[in-house]
Amino acid sequence: MSDEHESRSGDRADASSGLSRRSFLRGGAAGALATGALLGTEPVRGAAQAGETGASFVGPGEVGIELRVNGAARQLRVEPRVTLLDALRDRLDVTGPKKVCDRATCGACTVLEDGRPIYACTRLAIEAEGREITTVEGLGNPDGLHPVQAAFVAHDAQQCGFCTPGFVVAATALLAEHPSPTHDQVVQALGGNLCRCGTYAGIRRVVHDPGRG
C-alpha cells in the first residue's frame, strides 16, 4: 500500500523547483541539515556549510522579503523558518490556501509557483521570493469565477469547502497541461489532495467535463 500511496501523491514539481512530496521525503536528512542552517539553530555548522557550498544563510531573526502574490508585490518580514503558507495566511491575510496537515500530505495549501502546483506548507517563504505565487483567490472571485471554479460549483464538487481551494488550484494546473486528462493523469495530479467530506465524485466530473467553462 505504501507504494500506492506514494505514487498517488505524485511528484508535484520537478527537482529544480524544490520540494515535491516525494523528493522532500527522500531528501529528508539533507533537508533537515539545510533547515538547521536556515534556522540558525546550529550557526557554526551552518556557517561552515555555507562556506563550503558558497551559499549564504539568513536569520534566525526576521528578514524583510518581497513576495509576488496574485500579481501584486507584497513586502513582509518573516523569520526564515516561516513557511510560504503561514506567510500567506498569517501575514498577508491570503486565507484561500488552508493549513490542514502542515506536512505535504493533504494538498489543502496547494498554490501555483510560476504556474506549477506546490504545497505551500512545505516551501519556506524566503524560498518563494522572486517567484510568481498564485492562490485560489488569484484565479477568480465570486463574481468572476475561473472556469474551473465555476465547474466546481456546477458539479457540486465541494461540501465544507476546506479542501476546495487546494483542489481548484491542482485541477487548474492539471487542466492547463492536459485539457482532457486520462484517469491516470487525474490520479497523479489530484491524488495528493485529500477531502474528508467525500467530494471526489464531483471533482471527477469537473476534470472530465467537456463542457467546462
Residues lying near another protein in the complex (CB under 8 A) = 1, 4-5, 8, 79, 81-82, 86, 89-90, 93, 95-103, 105-106, 108, 135-137, 139-143, 145-146, 149-150, 152-154, 156, 158-165, 168, 186-187, 190-204
Least distance (Å) between residue 210 CB and another protein: 19
The DSSP result for 58-81, as a single string, is --SS-EEEEEEETTEEEEEEE-TT
Which regions of 130-202 does DSSP assign to beta strands (E)? 132-134
**Closer residue to another protein, CB minimum distance, 37 or 76:** 76
- DSSP reduced 3-state for 117: strand
Nearer to another protein, 52 or 182 (CB): 182
- State the minimum distance, in angstroms, from the CB of residue 46 to another protein: 18
Q: Would you say 8 or 48 has its CB closer to another protein? A: 8
- Shortest distance in whole angstroms from residue 53 CB to another protein: 26
The sign of the torsion formed by the CA atoms of 10, 11, 13, 18 equals positive
CB of 40 to another protein, least distance (A): 13
Q: How far does Cα 103 stand from its chain's mean position?
A: 11
Residue 87 has what DSSP assignment? I
Nearest to 121 by CA among 77, 166, 160: 166
Q: Which is nearer to another protein, 18 or 70 (CB)?
A: 70
Amino acid found at 74: R
Interatomic CA distance for residues 211 and 167, integer angstroms: 19
**Please, what is the minimum distance in Å from the beta carbon of residue 156 to another protein?**
5
Q: Measured from the CB atom, is 37 or 148 closer to another protein?
A: 148
